[in-house]
Amino acid sequence: MRVNRRSFLRSVGGCACATLLPSALFLGERNAAAIEAADKLDLTGKLHLADVALVAAKAGGASYADFRLCRYQTEYLEVREHRLEESSTGISAGFCVRVLLDGTWGYASSPLATEDEVRRTTLRAIEVAKASQPLQLRKFVLEDVPSHQDRWDMPMKADPFLVGTDEKIAHMLAINEAAMKAGADYATMSFAFVREEKCFASSVGSRITQSRVRSMPDGEVTVVDKTTGKFATRATLAAPRGSGYDYILAYDFIGEATKAAHQAREKLKAKPVAPGEYDLVLDPTNLFLTIHESVGHPTELDRALGWEANFAGTTFCTPDKLGKLRYGSELMHIVADRSQEGGLSTVGYDDDGVRSVGTEFDIIKDGIFLNYQTAIGQAQLIGQPRSNGCAFADSWNSFPIQRMPNVSLQPNKKKCSLHDLFSEIKRGIYIVGHGSWSIDQQRHNFQFGGQLFYEIKDGKLGGMLRDVAYQGSTVEFWNSMDGIGDKSTYFLGGAPNCGKGQPEQTAPVSHGAVPARFRQVTVLNTERKDIA
Amino acid sequence: MILSEADARSITNKILALSKADSCIVTLDGSEERHVRFAQNMATTNGSPSSLDIGVESHFGKRSGSASGTDLSDDALAALVAAAEDTAKRAPENPEFMPPVGPQTYPTGSSFSTATQGTTSDMLASAILPVLQKAQARNLQASGFLDIGTAFSSFANSSGLFVYDQGTEVLHTVTARTPDGTGSGWAGTTHFDFSKMDVAAMGAVAIDKAIRSQKPARLEPGKYTVILEPSAVSDLLGILISEFDQRAADEGRSFATKKGGGSLLGENVFGKNVTIYSDPNDPLVPGAIYSDDGLPAQRTAWVEGGVLKNLPRSRYWAQKTKGATVPSPTTLTMTGGTTSTADMIKQTKRGLLITRFWYIREVDPQTVLLTGLTRDGVFLIEDGAITRPSCNFRFNESPVAMLNKVIAMGPSVRAYGEESIGIPVAVPTLLVDGFTLSSVSDAV
């Protein structure tokens, strides 16, 4: 559905002081050991609890049940200017039991992983399902859910939880130092890390354990002009990734912080955009979010079935359009995957226990809408055999619902650089980074901002513009795309906080993109002169 | 998981006894919920989640670190304290560090209902079933969410402060849609007392709006006189309040920054008919009894007769600027008026009645310019009467500008919007002049 407003992590970042100091490594290990000590259950213990839940669910009449025991290790660090604002670590652990009873779902969860509590919680899930049955005017029917016994671990070079907190803080302070030195009035930088561990067992015999890590840098510099009362910001273009600390080290956050301070200052004096129709070249640091909102969400089957009508919304992309709708120009090839290196949605099995890594599928090929994203109990409603592995629950406390895999725009097979895209534009704008973002509940009308805007005139990149936002209607917009970059221009963006469901759940998802050219898009000037 | 005050105090004391730091803060939060979720006239993902969070913040001099967990066992609590202390020891000194405050006096708190805590899943389903039946009888599709929860929280520190708060909360939202997808209506709100929530009446509103909103007229975008129902107002007001921050204003990066330096405190920023305040004891929207750093939530005027009276000010910033600390709000009220929605319609020559907004995001923090969309019931008013349903629109508008153009207000009522800032909100229906609708949305 949407990317949360308040929780969206912004970022700057990056340092070359990357090697692990022996002391830092030692402290990191010690911290990890203390945390491990608190995780009393080994795999046998976890699977025993799973058996307790699944036996109780069967005895209670469930035709299907699953049990997820999850543990999330987190670290959040935030610096502001030259000082540490927050350093926190966390472990959140608990389990969820989900039952399908005579076609009605019920789930219950608890942080207390004991045999008695698992039994009590399973009975609560059954009670919820039974109580909800009078509302089940149409029963849920599951396809033949597959059974898997496997372990999957995200490949990673440097475990962020084995890097000393002090080293990370020093890295962040150095980034802010660079921004301040380059003229920023204020600078914030944060690093957030998550290790997600799940043990899944289901009544069809699946027994799956998985682990993956997310590294999420964020930051912003601000410059202020006290005489005019104006200020400007520039957020990092770094994306959150399903990667280790090596990703953080490889990104030139210090170079970016310096540049960001200069660019924010330049924004204050940039030329206001004249509203009108422009040809746009969207950098992948901007386009990834447009893909998320205008392609990722409309092609979610639960929305098409009306299951999100009360909150996330429905979609213009109804099942009768499968295989028929010309979603975009022939250059538009959108692939869904849960395999891409660094992808926030990359995982071996989804939270329904369906194999997801290595099961890529086309959502749009040659501009034609071909496939929805699905979870169990959905595909057969549109005449398809089974789920394509797109379920996700954001916590041990949540019910798995259909969520996005990595949804990415494939590069041009022909050679095409960013500057090749500029060359055929008489009057246009090049937009870098994501700013404000909003789209209607059926995914037609959108408005996006950006971090940086540059004039394009007669094929050449010109000066900076300010107060730019573009509006469009999804299908018209994607059909106006007449140029895209080749694989050398590919960038993996992402959002750590896509919201959907009730209670609302937050999902991390990546989107690969290349720069792309769109013709005659409506551009607004967002300055309000009537407000002092 | 709900811990009683005695249990919370006992666990807190255990953690404080384990602490070797110069000072320490302990927080406990937990909840137990029951909900039914439904769509297309059928139950979907019904549940009963339970949560717990234990937080420890340790300080050595001006070094701070924190750790959180979900395990109450002795071993886990010891590991938690050790992790917080380890983190604190490796942190650089924070020149803005403020030591924990001592014991405080708190409001009594009145957002707990024993009967609501005892609500069963059967009771939730019984409340929803007539709405689904009515929707089905009218050939409509009803979707919604009814969630009842009990939550507790406690905040304590090594300076002797301990505060425990407990509340119940009910959230209900319902959407009815026509099968052809041309009509959609919505209703929703929150309360702490389930007996005060009329689920059937809310279902009836959603159904009525779905029927009346069918086959909307495609109108031109532009500046419109609008009647914003409470959900729409609560979203805009909540986002505006989240921009209230004394430090940001003083630092020159807020809508409340004054040209030449300083903040707009004491100045006429909004229309004279605008008053916004927080009161944890407000009978309509009682709020949590404590706020930042365990300080008591207090009655605070944010805007009075259009004058900006207060912005939240942290203890550090208060000390630095020699002002008073102003804790963040735990509840929010915009004072209402006496004009009924029917009278607002009567006095409108040409305008739109808007049920709620969707996907609101800030475009420009300098002016709090927001963009978002209307949803689930927009109606055209011509010559004092609703004449036909309207298409949806994208708006580009600032609540700062909007609150300078309020023509009339209804009584303040509890309200809920999808951009809720997580505290109870009471706002009136507003009649507003010159609201900017920048483009048409084809969504229904």
pTM for the structure as a whole: 0.95
H helices of B19-137, in order, are 74-89, 114-117, 121-137
Q: What is the pLDDT of residues A298-341, one digit of tens each?
A: 999 999 999 999 999 999 999 999 999 999 999 999 999 999 99
Please judge whether A87 and B91 are an interchain contact, meaning their C-beta atoms are less than 8 angstroms apart: yes
Instruction: Please check the confidence at residue A2 and state whether its pLDDT lies above 60.
Output: no
**Pair of tokens at residue B76:** 């886990």
Mean pLDDT of all residues in A344-361:
96
Q: What is the pLDDT of residues B357-387, one digit of tens each?
A: 999 999 999 999 999 999 999 999 999 999 9
Lowest mean pLDDT among A40-49, A289-298, B402-411: A40-49
Closest CA to B45 of A504, A320, A34: A504
Residue A87's CB is within 10 A of a number of other CB atoms, namely 27
Instruction: Please check the confidence at residue A24 and state whether its pLDDT lies above 60.
Output: no
**With a CB-CB cutoff of 8 Å, which residues 197-236 of chain B face chain A?**
none
**With a CB-CB cutoff of 8 Å, which residues 177-196 of chain B face chain A?**
177, 181, 184, 186
Please judge whether B143 and A526 are an interchain contact, meaning their C-beta atoms are less than 8 angstroms apart: no
In whole angstroms, what is the distance from residue A451 CA to residue A438 CA? 15
Instruction: Please check the confidence at residue A125 and state whether its pLDDT lies above 50.
Output: yes
Mean pLDDT of all residues in A235-248:
98
pLDDT of residue B36: 97
- The alpha carbon torsion through A127, A133, A139, A141 (nearest 10 deg) reads 10
Q: Which residue in the set A38, A399, A444 is minimally distant from B47, CB to CB?
A: A399
Whether A106 has its CB under 8 Å from any CB of chain B: the answer is yes
Question: Which ranges in chain B are annotated with CATH 3.30.2290.10?
Answer: 5-211
Whether B358 has its CB under 8 Å from any CB of chain A: the answer is yes
Cβ-based neighbours of A1, under 8 Å, separated by 6 or more? A297, A303, A308, A311, A312, A313, A498, A499, A500, A501
Whether A529 has its CB under 8 Å from any CB of chain B: the answer is no
Whether A105 has its CB under 8 Å from any CB of chain B: the answer is yes
CA distance A209 to chain B (A): 21
Please judge whether A34 and B82 are an interchain contact, meaning their C-beta atoms are less than 8 angstroms apart: yes
Please judge whether A135 and B42 are an interchain contact, meaning their C-beta atoms are less than 8 angstroms apart: yes
Q: What is the pLDDT of residues B26-65, one digit of tens each?
A: 999 999 999 999 999 999 999 999 999 999 999 999 999 9
b (16+ CB within 10 A) / e for A142-181: bbebbebeeebebebebebbbbbbbbbbbbbbbbbbbbbe
Residue A293 is given by DSSP the state I
In whole angstroms, what is the distance from residue B16 CA to residue A106 CA? 39
Please judge whether A438 and B371 are an interchain contact, meaning their C-beta atoms are less than 8 angstroms apart: yes
Q: What is the pLDDT of residues A428-457, one digit of tens each?
A: 999 999 999 999 999 999 999 999 999 999
pLDDT of residue B408: 98
Best of A171, A438, A466 to substitute, by most chain B Cβ atoms within 10 angstroms, is A438
Whether A327 has its CB under 8 Å from any CB of chain B: the answer is no
pLDDT of residue A5: 33
Please judge whether B124 and A109 are an interchain contact, meaning their C-beta atoms are less than 8 angstroms apart: no
Q: What is the pLDDT of residues A136-171, one digit of tens each?
A: 988 999 999 999 999 999 999 999 999 999 999 999
**With a CB-CB cutoff of 8 Å, which residues 156-175 of chain A face chain B?**
164-166, 169, 173
**Pair of tokens at residue B407:** 């023509």
Mean pLDDT of all residues in A93-99:
97
Cβ-based neighbours of B69, under 8 Å, separated by 6 or more? A38, A90, A91, A92, A93, B53, B54, B76, B77, B79, B80
pLDDT of residue A532: 62
Report the DSSP beta bridge partners of residue A216: A192
Instruction: Please check the confidence at residue B100 and state whether its pLDDT lies above 90.
Output: yes
- Give contacts of A309 with chain B, Cβ < 8 Å: 39-40, 141, 143, 175, 177, 184
In whole angstroms, what is the distance from residue B32 CA to residue A31 CA? 31
pLDDT of residue A40: 64
Q: Which residue in the set B70, B88, B128 is minimally distant from A92, CB to CB?
A: B70
Q: Which residue in the set B35, B79, B96 is minimally distant from A83, CB to CB?
A: B96
Mean pLDDT of all residues in B418-424:
89
Whether A141 has its CB under 8 Å from any CB of chain B: the answer is no
Between chain A and chain B, the number of residue pairs with CB atoms below 8 A apart is 326
pLDDT of residue A417: 98
Contact of A55 with A47, CB cutoff 8 Å: no
**With a CB-CB cutoff of 8 Å, which residues 276-305 of chain A face chain B?**
305
- Report, in angstroms and rounded to the nearest whole number, the Rg of chain A calculated over CA atoms: 24
In whole angstroms, what is the distance from residue A383 CA to residue B270 CA? 56
pLDDT of residue A17: 25
Q: What is the pLDDT of residues A357-378, one digit of tens each?
A: 989 999 999 999 999 999 999 9
Mean pLDDT of all residues in B209-219:
97
| ipTM value for the complex | 0.96
Whether B375 has its CB under 8 Å from any CB of chain A: the answer is yes
Instruction: Please check the confidence at residue A216 and state whether its pLDDT lies above 50.
Output: yes
Q: What is the pLDDT of residues B167-188, one digit of tens each?
A: 999 999 999 999 999 999 999 9
Overall CATH class of domain A2-269: alpha beta
Is beta strand B23-39 parallel, antiparallel or unpaired with respect to B42-43? antiparallel
In whole angstroms, what is the distance from residue B140 CA to residue B133 CA? 10
Whether A30 has its CB under 8 Å from any CB of chain B: the answer is yes
Cβ-based neighbours of B199, under 8 Å, separated by 6 or more? B127, B128, B131, B146, B172, B174
* pLDDT, chain A, mean: 92
At residue A39 the predicted structure's pLDDT band, cuts being 50, 70 and 90, is low
Mean pLDDT of all residues in A107-117:
96
Best of B29, B42, B243 to substitute, by most chain A Cβ atoms within 10 angstroms, is B42
Contact of B370 with B362, CB cutoff 8 Å: yes
% residues pLDDT > 90 (chain A): 89
Question: Which ranges in chain A are annotated with CATH 3.30.2290.10?
Answer: 2-269
Q: Give CATH for domain B5-211.
A: 3.30.2290.10
Instruction: Please check the confidence at residue A9 and state whether its pLDDT lies above 70.
Output: no
Q: What is the pLDDT of residues A451-482, one digit of tens each?
A: 999 999 999 999 999 999 999 999 999 999 99
